[in-house]
A and B are shown apart, each in its own frame.
Chain A
Amino acid sequence: MTIDISRIDTILDRHGKDQRGLIPSLLEIQNEYHYLSSDALQRVSEQMAIPIIQVYQVASFYKAFSLKPRGKQLITVCLGTACHVRGGDRLIDQVGRLLNIQAGETTKDMQFTLEAVNCLGCCALGPVMVLDGKYYGSMSASKVEKVLEKFMEQEVPANG
């Protein structure tokens, strides 16, 4: 994916050029492109006058950032304690099995990325899965296929 330098610059302008603006800027770039490309990080380093090694240090430290391209849809399965005791592990295993990927990976067609998260704060509804921003509460391994199917059907026309 090529990046639009002017869009990165707009983001950097908004958050200021001192070090405090680094994490907010990276978060916004991540939101925009779903990952942080080396070009983007290079631009951030130049514009903010922060050594590239420091930019990488921050980008690789925090879990919100991905240095690899991600799929169109992000599937997040919560593995917080409340979800764990209600079978969150079985849930993520099942999603992984159905999509043939493991947590942290993206399907070959770049459609889905599967991520585990340590708590989404909807503990009362566990186990919880989030598919492209929509929360699915009280999930179970046996319900996964239906949710994924429904989602793929909906997405086909939208993507032409």
Chain B
Amino acid sequence: MAKARSVEALALEKRRDEILAGQDAARVSIKVCGGTGCLALSSDEVAQAFEQELKAQGVDGSVELKTTGCPGFCEQGPLLTIYPRRIFYTRVKPKDVAEIVSKTIIQGEVVDRLLYKDPLTGEKIVYETEVPFYKKQKRILLKNSGLIDPRKIEDYIAADGYKALEKALFEMTPEQVIAEVNQSGLRGRGGAGFATGVKWELCRNAAGDPKYIVCNADEGDPGAFQDRGLIEGNPHSILEGMIIGAYAIGAHQGFIYIRNEYPLAVELIRLAVEQARHDCLLGENILGSGFSFDVVVQLGAGAFVCGEETALMASIEGRTGEPRARPPYPAESGLWGQPTNINNTKTWAWVPHIIQHGADWFAQMGTEKSKGTTIFSVVGKVENTGLVEVPMGISLRYLIEDIGGGVSNGKKLKAVQTGGPSGGCIPETLWHLPVDYDSLREAGSIMGSGGMIVMDESTCMVDIARYFLNFSKFESCGKCTACREGVQRMYEILDYITRGYGREGDIEVLKELGAAVKASSMCGLGQTAPNPVLTTIRYFRDEYEAHIKDKTCPAGVCKSLITFSIVAEKCPGCGLCARQCTEDAISGEKGQPYVIDEGKCIRCGVCREVCKFEAILVK
């Protein structure tokens, strides 16, 4: 049903051609990461230094400087890539900039000390494309993060941006768009994995007008930052997906519900909305197609439970974020009682790709039931922390060891935690499992929104369970008794255990309470809150028993169960630990081994952090 392209659509195509014609692939372009991670490491100062230095050395006219979104390799930030050769520098400081300009930009030579060193081979790697962290990924959603300037709509348009929207509006009916998404097998990337096309169809067919769509960017899972990375790297891709979705569903108003804790992402998505409105991509009569749709960016106010769709809608309506029973599902009765479709940020971002390249292209990737790629944040005790995009179904081991570079500091790996407070800890013995919705569920965890927190032998699994229950206890909205009281009691038992007051039978009580909370809570928060406890009991029962029976913490974490001492043979008597100790618990003479007064020691761990001789023993 191809319609003739409108004047506006033709103008967009012309604009894309002009931008592309003006681009010179051979031109030197310096891309500095401006994502929240690299900014925390002062990448803005690096960018400023470049601006000055390019002028000072007289090459500012011929060299392009671009601040991009997050390319993902946060551990090595601030990151810098110099195109067209894609020379890759890590941990760049403002003081390195003059040398980079004179040596690399002007003379074409590489600054050796800024290159990434492969921790496995010790080899230095010159080009971004050769770095194992990138080489082993399949980057589609993240392809343009690190390449384009998220503040410039021109960059997105040049990278085929809004081409899929044009195709949907002028070549496809809403039903055809839904059929394409359905056929692709795309499942919701928020964690539950519901089929996106089916959800859209339900909402489209539901009686009621107006209809609403929502982008859930309330990424509350601790340890997950994919949505932030995506919004900061390529905000227009999410908008484009939403506009196509609205067209398919028949909605004219959308909401982007985004965390207040992500100030940069909020700024960039707001800017993208303004630009899109200005360029006739949002608002009345989009691209002259006759279809109208607009978006409101709504900030969350710091409540984890608002990631749950019914709580999120309550929050948009201006009420406390308390979930309600389903059915009715949002597709029938959502915002203000109207049919509403809610998808995760990453789900929306997939839509333009699927429309542009087709369902079959998408369905080639991944496994039989879990199609496409997905983004994980690989963090914790792993060498290469950051955002990675891989096809569904690869093994946990590949993700953690091959891409993540294995454990940092040569310690022994123990577990990976997936799915945030709703997920579980998967022991190293099960890392052959493929990463998809179904196998992780069988292992007692969930895929969740994609946070993978790697834990090594210095992580105490009882403490981790206590940590998550503390989180869920704090975030429980209090509506269901089982969640409000049950999680609180489970937390208390775990707290006692970590403080040395554990009793025989505690494990059984935890299991019983856990089953009850799961069975009798209304929303996902309560239904999954016991998972971190139940999986750690399932796979690491010996650690619980060590705490309860032997009153020891094998990982050396639980403060009440450990003591700090100094190994005399290793201590040269430098006195650094004694100077840093806030409690004056360490004494000794220069040149002689120091000693710790156990009575004064509060086990804060500062001495172990500062000791260069590994002379502090924790037992």
**Given A19-B318, A123-B224, is A82 in contact with B36 using a C-beta cutoff of 8 Å?**
no
Contact B40–A137 (Cβ < 8 Å) = yes
- How close is B449's CB to chain A, nearest CB, in angstroms? 11
**Given A23-B301, A27-B260, A81-B451, is A123 in contact with B318 using a C-beta cutoff of 8 Å?**
no
Contact A122–B223 (Cβ < 8 Å) = no
**Given A81-B451, A84-B467, A85-B380, is A119 in contact with B320 using a C-beta cutoff of 8 Å?**
no
Contact B582–A142 (Cβ < 8 Å) = no
For residues 106 through 128 of chain A, which have their beta carbon under 8 Å from a beta carbon of chain B?
A: 117-126, 128
Cα of A102 to Cα of B55 in the assembled complex, Å: 49
B381 within 8 A of A: yes
Stretch of A1-9, A67-75, A93-101, A152-160 at the chain-chain interface: A93-101
What 0/1 pattern do residues 21 to 34 of A give for CB contact below 8 A with B? 11110110000000
- How close is A65's CB to chain B, nearest CB, in angstroms? 7
Question: What's the tally of chain A residues with a CB closer than 8 Å to chain B?
Answer: 48
Partner of A118, one of B75, B304, B320: B304
For residues 196 through 221 of chain B, which have their beta carbon under 8 Å from a beta carbon of chain A?
A: 219-221
**CB-defined contacts of A57 to chain B, threshold 8 Å:** 320
Stretch of B233-241, B242-250, B604-612 at the chain-chain interface: B604-612
A49 within 8 A of B: no
Q: What is the count of residue pairs linking A and B with beta-carbon distances less than 8 angstroms?
A: 163
**CB-defined contacts of B77 to chain A, threshold 8 Å:** 125
Contact B222–A85 (Cβ < 8 Å) = no
Q: Which of A's residues lie within 8 Å of B, judged by CB?
A: 18-24, 26-27, 54, 57-58, 61-65, 79-87, 90, 93-94, 97-98, 117-126, 128, 135-137, 140-142
Contact A126–B379 (Cβ < 8 Å) = yes
**CB-defined contacts of A18 to chain B, threshold 8 Å:** 318
Cα of A140 to Cα of B41 in the assembled complex, Å: 15
Cα of A26 to Cα of B301 in the assembled complex, Å: 9
**CB-defined contacts of A90 to chain B, threshold 8 Å:** 604-606
28 A/B residue pairs, CB under 8 Å, sorted by A: A18-B318, A19-B318, A23-B298, A23-B315, A27-B299, A27-B301, A61-B320, A79-B222, A80-B222, A81-B453, A82-B380, A82-B385, A82-B451, A84-B467, A85-B455, A118-B474, A119-B225, A121-B36, A121-B224, A121-B228, A121-B259, A121-B261, A122-B36, A122-B74, A124-B75, A135-B39, A137-B41, A140-B609
B146 within 8 A of A: no
Q: Which of B's residues lie within 8 Å of A, judged by CB?
A: 36-37, 39-41, 74-75, 77, 219-225, 228, 259-262, 298-304, 315-321, 377, 379-381, 385-387, 417, 420, 451, 453, 455, 459, 464, 467-468, 471, 474-475, 477, 580, 582, 604-606, 609-610
Contact A94–B261 (Cβ < 8 Å) = no
**CB-defined contacts of B610 to chain A, threshold 8 Å:** 142
Contact B40–A136 (Cβ < 8 Å) = yes
**Given A90-B604, A135-B40, is A125 in contact with B221 using a C-beta cutoff of 8 Å?**
no
Cα of A84 to Cα of B467 in the assembled complex, Å: 8
Residue of A20, A24, A82 contacting most chain B CB atoms (<10 Å) = A82
Contact A141–B467 (Cβ < 8 Å) = no
Partner of B604, one of A27, A65, A141: A141
**CB-defined contacts of A117 to chain B, threshold 8 Å:** 261, 302
Q: Which 4 A-B pairs have the closest CB atoms?
A: A124-B74, A135-B40, A80-B222, A63-B302
Cα of A26 to Cα of B77 in the assembled complex, Å: 36
Cα of A93 to Cα of B603 in the assembled complex, Å: 11
**CB-defined contacts of B316 to chain A, threshold 8 Å:** 20
**CB-defined contacts of A62 to chain B, threshold 8 Å:** 300-303, 320-321
Cα of A125 to Cα of B42 in the assembled complex, Å: 13
Q: Other than A26-B301, A86-B381, A123-B223, give 5 A-B pairs with Cβ distance below 8 A.
A: A54-B319, A61-B321, A63-B303, A122-B74, A124-B37
Cα of A23 to Cα of B582 in the assembled complex, Å: 42
**CB-defined contacts of A119 to chain B, threshold 8 Å:** 220-225, 261
Cα of A58 to Cα of B380 in the assembled complex, Å: 34
* Chain B: CB-nearest residue to A84: B467
- How close is A50's CB to chain B, nearest CB, in angstroms? 8
- How close is A137's CB to chain B, nearest CB, in angstroms? 4
**Given A137-B37, A141-B609, is A121 in contact with B219 using a C-beta cutoff of 8 Å?**
yes
Contact B299–A81 (Cβ < 8 Å) = no
Contact A125–B40 (Cβ < 8 Å) = yes
